[in-house]
Structure 1
């Protein structure tokens, strides 16, 4: 995968798009996990 990113240096718009897409997905999963943990901690006595 690193070789593909290095070879596609000219196609920087695509690589940046995938980078931001990965960042958005990771942040969404992190927020969902935090919210789930908060709800579980609230329900547990």
Structure 2
């Protein structure tokens, strides 16, 4: 997962923090949106 983040230009720590924060309430039919190559991380 970390390697996939790096290959897709996503900072791994930010990605994991975001996914862990939202996954509990995320709709199961949209889980593909949380993959490293599709995720839209919020800007801080």
Normalised by the length of structure 2, the TM-score is 0.33
Comparing both structures, which one devotes a greater share of its residues to helix?
1
Highest RCO, 1 vs 2 (Cα 8 Å, sep ≥ 6): 2
Alignment TM-score, normalising by the size of structure 1: 0.32
